[in-house]
Structure 1
């Protein structure tokens, strides 16, 4: 593992150092079996596990130091903090404290992620404005071990998807999505996992890729996806902007590792096209502000989804 490329990771993981059932060494074995290149240690409101990943590092697994900040009105992930650092969690949406703690994590080069914004338990719903953070966790695997996609994830995805066009028109930017297992139990790690393009397999480079939205989400390492848009001799991939020069845009998707299913193309007009697992679709910057895709199983469950390619 080295150099620029695509890396698979799970950035929401719990061990026996908070409320998980597995040790860091056991989670390391599961991460390697799940085909991961990196994971984040994100115990609830503690740094107790930060120094317990020597076996992971010896096996070549990158460990991002983090925390799940469990506030009274929602949880968020502080990724890339210093070893031993604990981000304060004792506040709620009425206290006006979130921005201060997010700013401190960002000053240190860290990434702030809204975790499971529609989780089905008290304080699990993320009641702060999503735009206060860098990334939204639209796919959380904890509550769906038998079926890796559920109504809470569907709600988070819909909320995120509806904001892309408005954010682009208002600010020229959009908030990336990611997916994590939120593993607490054996067999959960890596379902789902985020596949990120990074300049190198280092914490700063991986966080840069996630921050830029150069990433997509897969239900497992078996799923492979290639997603590009081409116009006027130029090509862009997931998370990038394509200058079309006013020319028609050809969007191509190729998926493997999914036994059956379909690719669904989304723009600011909603679901605009449905095709098989190797698909080609034509649009333009006039018709589509952006394009993103979802790969669905026949029962509607998610196999993969991408951040958008922006067209201009």
Structure 2
């Protein structure tokens, strides 16, 4: 088997940068309607930098994806592990590797499957935890998984948001404060779960990575150095500052007992709202102008806020962007 049968694990990219990617897609090699060629063409057309192959209970086939990678486009290998008590994404697995799906919540076999992904340097994602169909509702406990897919675009109509995503986001948010205190919090991510034409990248995850490589992208996702965008039309910058110290998403800001200014700069959400959320719920909200571009600032302290995360929403309440937290100490 030639090394060109599978995509390379590194692309030239832009060096350290924010990269946009969709880590949950299906082709004709599982239950999708698009060829790998069409998926990659669609991803590149909407401005993505990477995707992950996630066929149901199957490895990426040799010779199918390798020729589609490019210097400016990365293809990660993965699998949607589809069990009777929930689905999860195994991202960054080895070429030809298949993770066993013959396990279910409470049977004691899930841990070995997660360990296998982790030994390969991969990331385990709890997929669409409140999906409205048999086996889609996630019954496994979150401990052991690295990331939660709080935003899944499959079961939506004109915009990639629905009540099931609201429920998944709320569940993740409720656990965040306790998990941050124990140092074991799980970042959020969003993916399209593409099966049909026109779904790719709605939503997707924007990741700060040292380079455009499998290892670097997964490191950014695992650390929560990421946010979720409805589409590539939505742009954002999210930071917190205390004196001359600045922290970004997934990072810890030392405030030394002083004030922290949290800043959200957003484009592409006309007349939207920017909400700041802490361990006390939503604590501040501001409106964006009609052209959708604006910067919102809010001050807090580590005593009042263990972390701050940001939700950007359209006037109808549908999400446009969600961030992972900035942790205050």
Give the TM-score of the pair, scaled to structure 2: 0.92
Distance 1:139 1:82 in 2: 26
Deviation at 1:55, TM superposition (A): 4.1
* Aligned equivalent of 2:88: 76
- Once residues 168 and 59 of structure 1 are traced to their aligned partners in structure 2, the CA distance between those partners, rounded to angstroms, is 37
1:132 aligns with 2:149: no
What's 2:21 paired with?
9
Q: Which residue of 2 aligns with 1:225?
A: 236
Q: Secondary structure at the match of 1:258?
A: coil
Q: Are residue 176 (structure 1) and residue 187 (structure 2) matched?
A: yes
1:294 aligns with 2:294: no
Give the whole-Å Cα distance in 1 for the aligned partners of 2:301 and 2:153: 35
| Residue number in structure 1 paired with 2:54 | 42
Q: Could you report, residue by residue, the CA deviation over 1:86-119 in whole angstroms, capped at 9, with x for unpaired residues?
A: 0000121131111110011101100000000000
C-alpha displacement of 1:60: 3.4
Whether the 8 Å CA contact 1:28–1:55 is kept in 2: the answer is no
**CA displacement, residues 196-229 of structure 1 (integer Å, 9 cap, x when unaligned):** 0001100000000000000000000111111111
Whole-Å separation in 2 of the counterparts to 1:182 and 1:163 = 24
Retained in 2: the 8 A contact 1:7–1:195? yes
SS of match in other structure, 2:111? helix
Partner of 2:105: 93
**Distance of 1:294 and 1:227 partners within structure 2:** 11
Given the two structures, how large is their TM-score scaled by the length of structure 1? Answer: 0.97
In 1, Cα distance between equivalents of 2:202 and 2:62: 22
- 8 A Cα contact 2:20 2:204, kept in partner: yes
Describe how 1:1-312 pairs up with structure 2 within 5 A. 1-49=13-61, 51-58=63-70, 60-169=72-181, 171-277=182-288, 278-312=295-329
Paired residue secondary structure (1:131): coil
- Kindly indicate whether the alpha-carbon contact (under 8 Å) linking 2:149 and 2:189 is maintained by their aligned counterparts in 1: yes
**Structure 1 residues 50 and 221: alpha-carbon distance in aligned structure 2, compared to 1, 3 A threshold:** farther
Residues 111-160 of structure 1 deviation map (CA, whole Å, 9 limit, x = unaligned)? 00000000011110110001220000000000114221000000000000
Counterpart contact for 2:60–2:95, Cα < 8 Å: no
Structure 2, unaligned runs of 5 or more: 1-12, 289-294
Secondary structure at the counterpart of residue 212 of structure 2: coil
Aligned residue for 1:93, secondary structure, equals coil
SS in 2 for 1:196: strand
Unaligned runs of 5+ residues in structure 1 are none
Q: Which runs of 4+ in 1 moved over 2 A?
A: 48-51
**1:32 to partner: Cα distance:** 0.5
Aligned-residue CA RMSD (Å): 1.1
